[in-house]
Amino acid sequence: MRTVLIGMLTVALILGGCQGSGESTKKSIPSIALEKTKVKLELDGQIFRDLNKNGELDVYEDINAPIEDRIDDLISQMTIEEKAGTMFMPGVPVNEDGSLEKKADATGPGARYPAAIDNIDKGKLNHFNVWSIPPDPSLMAVWYNSLQSHAEASRLGIPVTIASDPRHHFSNTIFSMAANGFTQFCETPGLAAIGNDSLVEQFADIVRKEYLAVGIRVALHPQIDLATEPRWARISGTFGEDANLTARMVTAYLKGMQGETLDENSVACMTKHFPGGGPQKEGLDPHFAIQKGQIYPGDNFDYHLIPFEAAFKMNTASIMPYYGVPTDQTDEEVAMAYNKMIITDLLRKKYNYDGVVCTDWGLITDVQMGPDITWPARAWGVEELSPSERVLKIIQAGCDQFGGENRPELVVELVANGELDEARIDESLRRLLRQKFQLGLFDNPFVDETKVSEIVGREDYRAIGNASQQKAITLLKNKDSFLPLESNTSKVYIEGMDSTVVAQYARVVPTPEEADLAIIRLNTPWYPAETKNPFARSFHHGDLDFKQEEKTRLLEIMDKVPTVVDIYLDRPAVIPQISEASRALIADFGSSDKNVCEVLFGNAEPKGKLPFELPSSMEAVENQLTDVPYDSENPLYTFGFGLEY
């Protein structure tokens, strides 16, 4: 029921306005919201946002009302279309000039999708996943504020929640978005290699501040799957293969991102991928029909739950299940988000989890990627169901929201046909709206775009990020104390590096024959999956070893000149012969040429310890139990290995 304030209420449908003093014991609308909101109510000197523009202070508009009361009031006013729209989170483009309208010449990951304003107007949506953003992050903030103003003008003025994949890593993989001005740390296996909880919390706190500056309020991370199958394409987003180390890391991560409680200073974390996506058959990823299930030959399902138990203790705001079928673990062979035993029995009942559960992206709708290429929806085990039947099964399994989808009409249709009870929709709405209220979006959805450059990519943040890239470097071999190298005393042959960077430390020469030493930067090998889908072919699938021609070429260089090898470990490389032939061997987990040189030439020290084993052969990889850690026979380098200068 709405609160009607007769004779005491001044309606101000204006851009400006002064902040009333209010009572010292009461919360008030922050000044940035007072400056930017277009609809205001004044009561006894205190200003509120009149989101539904009715000239009354509704309970959901009252910053001092209990959150649960505000949720009740808002749900009572929402149409089924508005409720359905809240349950979807599609990707949207962000124009490089900060404007809202869809550009005719738009490119990038979001180019084929409608602009966010069209989704608000036509689908009543209010959650969005942003992909590529402007090179200048302040223009992201301009776009965000304009979008919130557009949302404010909707019937109920429900604010928008913006989510993002990771943006704060120096990365060579497709799972981190372009940094575009944000501070660049090593990737998460590198944080695990350093193993310092305080650094992880500091990292997360910096991410939180930079996200808040541009309006990102939901992090589609951390990823706490365990890297027990070394061929899996998504290991670069994990903390490695050890459950207890990962539990420590996620505890610190959530503390830095969310704080002790979710509030207006938090970024809500969507921890993924429940119940652990690491044990993928042959390492093939269930983004695609090339492989649809997780396997547990070591009967080790529960081991993968340990990091999630730590996340639950830290009250992670949201959970994302993965795509795969938990083979032979439940009463039906269907993917996680469709699986009631996984979502309701395990997550909701056993772990008492009442936060938001959002599916991974694209479970409902096929995507046409070209005239003869269809990327099927990840409806593994229920491929025969229609899109509306898939929506129903996911909701009945216990999920609240659909990631990467934009089909609210299917929810409306299910309710209209009597197949889905609106009360069940309200259950999910309560969780989704609670998060918006906790984050303070109903009271202040705006950011100060003039402050972005003072926060994002600050010099002291960059220094911490660079230090993480350096410390994560793991020294695996250092024959005769070859490292650290002396600066400006050697002629060096390089591969995989920027010569202008290396020239600051040594004289770069064009051939191994002219060199005193060589420095070669390598990436862990990968081989495209056999599929026409171009996105699938970009995933780092397949064997982990260098094949004969390339391996022979590298060994010939090492035979000619003492060679330092740096291997980027987005997956555990198989490099026994390269290790043997190198004079020194280091591993990095996302590091610039500059930061690698700082370590090689002794200005910083490598502190990393391997967060996963490096196998000695592909035969050993193929013989591993997919769900079991430290299971490689006679590994080349063991979990936790790392030398120091």
What are the catalytic residues? Answer: 360
CA atoms of 295 and 118, how far apart (whole Å): 41
Q: What is the DSSP string of 484-519?
A: SPPTTS-EEEEESS-HHHHTTTSEE-SSGGG-SEEE
Query: Nearest 5°: phi and psi at 237?
Result: -95, 0
Cis amide prior to 484 (ω within 30 degrees): yes
| Distance of alpha carbon 243 from alpha carbon 629, whole angstroms | 9
Q: Which long-range contacts (CB under 8 A, 24 or more apart) does 140-143 make?
A: 140/94, 140/98, 140/214, 140/215, 140/452, 141/98, 141/213, 141/214, 141/215, 141/447, 141/448, 141/449, 141/452, 142/98, 142/449, 143/94, 143/95, 143/98, 143/99, 143/100
Residues in the chain: 645
* Burial (CB count <10 Å: 0-12, 13-18, 19+), residue 287: buried
Q: What is the DSSP string of 100-154?
A: -SPPTT--STTTTSPPHHHHHHHH---EEEE-S--SSHHHHHHHHHHHHHHHHTS
Transcribe 224-257 into DSSP letters: -----STT-TTGGGS--S-HHHHHHHHHHHHHHH
Neighbours of 14 (CB within 10 A): 10
Cα atoms in the 13 Å half-sphere on the side-chain side of 165: 21
Alpha carbon distances (Å) from 96 to 102, 140, 175, 211, 637: 11, 8, 21, 18, 45
Q: What is the largest CA-CA distance in the chain?
A: 90
CA distances from 58 to 34, 45, 327, 423, 426 (A): 18, 17, 49, 22, 19
